[in-house]
Structure 1
């Protein structure tokens, strides 16, 4: 993880927090139209509560990272495609990572996500 810009995501009960560094790969929407950000998987680390983090297979071929105490989903990880999907958009979107490759964008679309450009 770099020493550059970072964000912190904490579950509702506060038992688990994740840290993300750098910039998201892209912004988009999930299958229900909710705003999401796509992050490189290596930009995510557990800040606290590793023993309370439940990593379980999801219905898209990846893993859901959720809190064992409050059951809040913090992210969906897709090891094969090497990215994580987190709810919401970062406040500062001016510093997005370089544009997604067409193969990575196709993979996101195959998983039901929609990449949003120009937000």
Structure 2
């Protein structure tokens, strides 16, 4: 058999990532809140509206510049598991519910993940 007709010993890793992707494009949204109560209120609304499949809360210490002043505050970081198609609604909800004038809201694309987890994520979100 000629070398050009042989199959590769293994598929490229990019192929494995693409086959594990669900129908929706998974994404992570990060935001912070000044209190656990506010973080949980926003997280609960996202879950109730099926804009998020999971919301994780972490206590963090943030140091940043705000209006020319160096600030240091305790905050709660929300890691929101969602799909890119839901980002506009997630952002809108956070902006409507948040007490900060200019909350951090970052969208992170997900390029792959465990097939079972990605299926659960997809099944947990609104269509």
Q: TM-score, normalised by structure 1?
A: 0.28
- Structure 1 or 2: more strand by fraction: 1
Report which structure shows greater RCO (CA 8 Å, sep ≥6).
Answer: 2
- Structure 1 or 2: more helix by fraction: 2
Tell which structure's C-alpha radius of gyration is larger.
2
Q: TM-score, normalised by structure 2?
A: 0.27
